């Protein structure tokens, strides 16, 4: 790369991640200056190459992305790391990670190394999104009882049950004592005279008396 280019001022704006469901990416901004310290003019296309090293600045490359960006009127370029490659493939839980930035101000592939720096703090939120859940917290106190609900509608009457078996005949009870003789009742009124009966038959003739 030409000597006319100097480095970039990095500004990481953080990760966009939510429980490993949202896209994982990292905002990157930089101001590009030439060897005289002058900011590159607006509208100039530059090429960027991002590499993440595992464990050390020279460790295994576990992520790489190539991108182009256009300077604004302040010489500022902006890129979302992870928009061109899958940043989710990085295993953030295996140790420190280091980001290397390379630049070609002409927009080609003649990259110059702009330095490597360790990713600190915020990027490791990606590991937290994929880590095992922590232990359960203590059970909270019981809440107050809710109001009683309204009485429900009465259900339909059930079917009559089967007639039960006849029970055994009970034993005869004890005979009670004879009651006392009651008082004599009052004399009743005389009955009415009955009707005259029919005349009887003539009697037989008597025997003749002895002569005088």
What Cα–Cα distance (Å) separates residue 147 from each residue in 62, 87, 144, 150?
59, 52, 9, 9
DSSP string, 91-128: -GGGS-EEEEEEEETTSSS--EEEEEEE--SGGGHHHH
Residue for token pair 């390379």: 102
The domain spans of the chain are 5-130
Least confident of 3-12, 126-135, 140-149: 3-12
Mean pLDDT of 182-195: 84
- 12 to 91, 100, 190, 204: CA distances (angstroms): 20, 13, 139, 167
Tell me the per-residue pLDDT of 157-175, one tens digit each, with 9 for 90 and over.
888 888 888 888 888 888 8
Question: Of the ranges 25-39, 68-82, 137-151, which is most confident?
Answer: 68-82
pTM: 0.53
Q: What is the mean pLDDT of residues 118-127?
A: 66
Return mean pLDDT, the chain: 82
For residue 210, give both structure tokens: 């002895």
pLDDT in the model for residue 12: 47
Q: Residue 42: which region, alpha, beta or left (left: phi > 0; alpha: psi -120 to 50)?
A: beta
The phi, psi pair for 14, rounded to 5°, reads 110, 175
Q: What is the CA radius of gyration of the chain?
A: 61
* Band of residue 194 on the pLDDT scale cut at 50, 70, 90: confident
Q: How confident is the model at residue 5 (pLDDT cuts 50, 70, 90)?
A: low
* pLDDT beyond 50 at 185: yes
pLDDT band at 1 (very low <50, low <70, confident <90, very high): very low
For residue 103, what are its two tokens?
A: 């630049």
Q: State residue 152's pLDDT score.
A: 85
Share of the chain above pLDDT 70, in %: 82
- 191 dihedral zone (left: phi>0; alpha: psi -120 to 50; beta): beta
* Predicted confidence (pLDDT) per residue in 35-73, tens digit: 788 899 999 999 999 999 999 999 999 999 999 999 999
Q: What is the arrangement of strands in the sheet containing 97-104, beginning at the earlier edge strand?
A: 61-70, 45-54, 97-104, 112-118
Higher pLDDT, residue 145 or 53? 53
Q: Give CA separation, 8 vs 26, 38, 81, 109, 111, in Å.
A: 17, 12, 16, 17, 13
DSSP string of 127-182, one letter each residue: HHHHSPPPPPPPPPPPPPPPPPPPPPPPPPPPPPPPPPPPPPPPPPPPPPPPPPPP
Residue 179 scores a pLDDT above 50: yes
pLDDT of res. 35: 73
CATH value of 5-130 in 2.60.40.10, 3.40.50.720, 3.40.50.970, 2.40.10.220: 2.60.40.10
């Amino acid at each position: 790369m030409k000597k006319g280019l100097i480095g970039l001022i990095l500004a990481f704006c953080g990760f966009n991640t939510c429980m490993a469901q949202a896209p994982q990416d990292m905002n990157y901004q930089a101001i590009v200056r030439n060897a005289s310290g002058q900011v590159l003019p607006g509208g100039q296309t530059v090429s960027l190459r991002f590499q993440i090293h595992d464990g050390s600045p020279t460790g295994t490359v576990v992520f790489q992305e190539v991108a182009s960006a256009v300077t604004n009127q302040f010489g500022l370029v902006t890129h979302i790391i992870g928009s061109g490659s899958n940043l989710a493939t990085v295993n953030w839980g295996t140790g420190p990670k280091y980001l290397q930035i390379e630049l070609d101000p002409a927009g080609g592939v003649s990259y110059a190394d702009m330095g490597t720096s360790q990713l600190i703090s915020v990027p490791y939120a990606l590991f937290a999104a994929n880590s095992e859940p922590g232990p359960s917290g203590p059970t909270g106190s019981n809440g107050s009882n809710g109001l009683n609900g309204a009485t429900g509608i009465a259900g339909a009457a059930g079917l009559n049950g089967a007639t039960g078996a006849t029970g055994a005949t009970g034993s005869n009870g004890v005979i009670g004592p004879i009651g006392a003789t009651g008082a004599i009742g009052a004399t009743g009124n005389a009955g009415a005279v009955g009707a005259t009966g029919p005349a009887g038959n003539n009697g037989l003739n008597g025997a003749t008396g002895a002569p005088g």
